[in-house]
Every structure is written in structure tokens, then in C-alpha cells.
Amino acid sequence: MSPHVRMGATMTVRYNRAVTSSSLSGLNWLNLLVALMQTGFGAFLSVYLTTHGWSAAEIGFALSLAAITAMVAQVPAGMMVDAAHDKRHAAAIAIAIVILAALVIGIAPSHFPVLVAEMMQGAAGCVLTPSIAAITLALAQKEALGERLGHNVRFAALGSVSAAAAMGVVGTFYSHRATLFLAAAAGMAALGAIATIQGRDLATAHLRTDHRAAPPKVLRPAQDRGWDIARDPCLLIFGLCVFLFQLGNAGMLPLAANAVTRAGGGRVELYVAAAIVMPQLVAALLSPRVGRLAQQHGRRLVLVCGFLAMAARAMLLATDGGPFPMIAYQSLDGISAAAMGVLLPLIVADITHHRGRFNLAMGIVGVFVGLGAAASTTLAGALADRFGDTIAFLALAVPGLLAALLAWTGLPETRHRAAARPA
């Protein structure tokens, strides 16, 4: 081969390895706008339904129905995304379903339409999360996947902060219904962000990474059977670690907010809002650095730090649950959120590197996440009612410590698993 031909081939490979700026910018905007859209289905939805005569029990049932639907749909959704020819299409369909759910609730806040819409939103979220992770896997250089996932977490956190501010203003000065229309508008903008992610960048994923699940389906090598990946000991240990983390984490802020509310005084809503925004800002600041640390020093060390930050937050809240300490201690939640947001898809990518079934594995871990979160709120409330807030916070620290211990002693370091030859 002549030198000119070799140089041309090299330039082609370099061009193909490089991702266009529009694709990376589109991925950033997609994460931000999806977070903004999904925020409309949290606390703001509760306020909206309350103004339409829903009781606390009815609102709780509607939100629980969405969570239960999400848990049931995790694994089938992961299998569906694995089978999709273009992950952008899967993400777009999921976003369209969430937009429809927001419009249904905004237009018809009666029981049956809202319950159906909540189920739609819960199921669509199970498709959306792995789809975005799969798009990221295809666009990122193999050696920079952790940092790219960190940028995902950063923009999602900024989206949550922007949503809290925008929906607060819209709900206060216009109407609570308008927050749902704002969520739908964010979803429409997210569809535009997907359109800027170039198909040619996804088609050349195999030049940036040798992960088996990254290329388009027509170029993808054979993957393991779903049952094989579901029995992977490393995946199951990681899932148990995530379950323990969520068991301690999910119920902590609601418990702290209840404690501040019972203590009385004004501006309770302002304190709670600050406690929500604080960790998002910390996560936005730290997430890319967390990704780089995971690439350089290994996944396990960063994961354990995230677990210990959660346990430390619980123990600090046990000592003083006042409004200003609560806001300060919530900064530790930003460390945990950054670690989990980056490490969850990164470790799953390591485990599935030579086996494929990345999205199915994400769905399996998602089941552990949902089970832990569902059990946490019930556990925290029961312990607080029976033994008081201090004991409840200390009890929530225990799963975090157990998760750190299990991750350090039982979870293999997965950073070099991608470099090893498949068994």
C-alpha cells in the first residue's frame, strides 16, 4: 500500500472516530431536557393534584402505581432497547409517551386518566434511561466513557435545577396546570435534541469502542443470551450493592423534610427546595471529575466513596435535623448522586463489554434500584413513628455501610474487565 493510501485510510479512521459537535451537544441537551420534563411528575404533580381535590392517599397511590409499573417494565424495556435498530428511535418514542402523559394529566385531572398516564410515564422511563445510556456508549471513546457519563449527570442535574426554578415560577404566577404543559414543552425540545444526534456518529461506534453492544444492530456481533447475563455473579453483587444504597438513601430526604415540618416555623417549603437543589449543584460540579477518577483509579474506590457519603449524611442528620444543617448535609447527597449516576452505567458497561446485553443488564440493575427505593420510604417512616427520627436516621446509615463493605470485599474491580479477553 502506498504512503498516500495509508495516510488517507488513517485520516478516514480519525474522522470516523471523531464525533461531530452536534451529536455531543445534542446528547447534553437531551439529558438536560429529559430531566426538566421528568421533574414535572414529582412534587409539582402532587401540588397540582391536591388543588384538584385529590387526597394524600390518592396521590400516593398514583405515584406508587408509576413506581410499580417502572419496576415491572425494567427488564422487558431493557430487552426491547437491546433489540432496537436505532436507540434514538427508542428514546424518541419514550419521550413522546411521556409528553402524552403530561398532556393527559394537564387536561383531564380525574382519577382514571391520571392513573393511566402515570403508568405510561413509569413504563416510558424504563425505556428512556437505557436508551440514553446506549447512545452515550456509542458516542464515547472507550477510554473516556466515565467522563462522558459524568457530563450526562452534570446536564441532568442542571436540568433538574432549571426545572425546579422554572416550574416554581410558572406554578406560582400562572397555574399549577402550566407546570405539566412546561414538562410537555421540554419533551418536545428533547425530541429536537435527539434529531441533532447524527446517525453516522452512531454507525461508527465500533471505531471508538469494542464494546459488543455499541455498534448498530446490523454491525453488532452475537451477544449472550439474556439468561446468561442475568446470572452473572458480578452483576448480581453490584445489584445488591445498589439495592442497599437505595434502601438507605431514598427515604432520607422525605424523613428530614418531615422532621423540619414538624418542628414548625415558616419557610419550610423554601428549606426543602434548597435541600433538593443543593445536591444537584454539587453533582453538576463533580460528575465529570468523578468519571475521570473512575477511569484512572478504578470503579470500586469511587463507588465506595459514594456509599460512605450517604451513610455519613444519615449519621449527621441523626445528630441535628434542623433546616440549615439539613441543607448543608444534603451536599453529601450530591457526592453520592454523582458517584451513582456515573458508576451505575459504567460498571454495567464493563460487565457486558464482551457479552453484550447492555440494556438488559441496565434493566436488571434498575429492578434492584426500584426495590430499594420502595422499601426505603416505608422503612424510614415506620422507624420514625416507632423509635423517633434519630434512630431512623441511624438505621438508614446501616445499609450504606453494608453497601460499602460489600462493594469493597465482594465486588470485583471491573475497570480492566473490558481489556481482558472474554471467557
Say if 10 falls within a structural domain.
Answer: no
Asked whether the CA dihedral 59, 60, 63, 68 is positive or negative, the reply is negative
Say if 8 falls within a structural domain.
Answer: no
Q: Report CA 176 to chain centroid distance, whole Å.
A: 26
Say if 283 falls within a structural domain.
Answer: yes
How many Cβ atoms are within 10 Å of 246's Cβ, its own excluded? 24
* pLDDT score for 224: 63
Total residue length of the chain: 423
Query: pLDDT digits over 88-108, tens only?
Result: 999 999 999 999 999 999 998
Question: What's the N-to-C CA distance of the chain in angstroms?
Answer: 36
* pLDDT score for 339: 94
Judge contact between 238 and 304, C-beta under 8 A: no
| Nine cell digits for residue 77 | 424495556
Task: Point out the domain boundary residue: 189, 210, 231.
Answer: 210
Say if 264 falls within a structural domain.
Answer: yes
44, amino acid identity: F
Say if 14 falls within a structural domain.
Answer: no
Domain match, 228 and 376 both: yes
Domain match, 67 and 188 both: yes
Domain match, 242 and 291 both: yes
| Nine cell digits for residue 121 | 410515564
Say if 319 falls within a structural domain.
Answer: yes
Angle at the Cα of 359 from the Cα atoms of 14 and 45, rounded to 5 degrees: 110
Query: 363 lies in which domain range?
Result: 222-418
Domain match, 69 and 161 both: yes
How many Cβ atoms are within 10 Å of 356's Cβ, its own excluded? 23
Task: Point out the domain boundary residue: 190, 210, 230.
Answer: 210
Angle at the Cα of 291 from the Cα atoms of 286 and 294, rounded to 5 degrees: 120
Asked whether the CA dihedral 340, 231, 221, 423 is positive or negative, the reply is positive
Query: pLDDT digits over 215-229, tens only?
Result: 776 666 666 666 778
Say if 12 falls within a structural domain.
Answer: no
Q: Give the Cα separation of 46 and 109 in Å (integer).
A: 11
Cβ-Cβ contacts under 8 Å for 218 (sequence gap 6 or more): 85
Judge contact between 206 and 219, C-beta under 8 A: yes
Query: 127: domain CATH number?
Result: 1.20.1250.20
Domain match, 82 and 117 both: yes
What angle, rounded to 10 degrees, do the helices at 56-83 and 358-387 form? 160
Say if 3 falls within a structural domain.
Answer: no
Note the pTM of the prediction, 2 decimals. 0.83
State how many domains the chain has.
2
How many Cβ atoms are within 10 Å of 228's Cβ, its own excluded? 12
Averaged pLDDT in 10-residue chunks for the chain of 423 residues: 38 52 92 91 78 78 83 88 88 95 91 91 91 91 88 92 82 80 93 93 85 72 70 92 93 79 63 82 93 90 95 92 84 93 92 85 90 84 84 93 95 75 51
Judge contact between 275 and 257, C-beta under 8 A: yes
Asked whether the CA dihedral 202, 208, 214, 218 is positive or negative, the reply is positive
Domain match, 321 and 414 both: yes
Q: Give the Cα separation of 362 and 131 in Å (integer).
A: 10
Cα-trace Rg, the chain:
22
Domain match, 139 and 272 both: no
Q: Report CA 273 to chain centroid distance, whole Å.
A: 20
Domain match, 166 and 238 both: no
Q: Report CA 212 to chain centroid distance, whole Å.
A: 23
- C-alpha distances in angstroms, 211 versus 119, 165, 303? 33, 39, 22
> Burial of 6 by CB count in 10 Å (0-12 exposed, 13-18 middle, 19+ buried)?
exposed
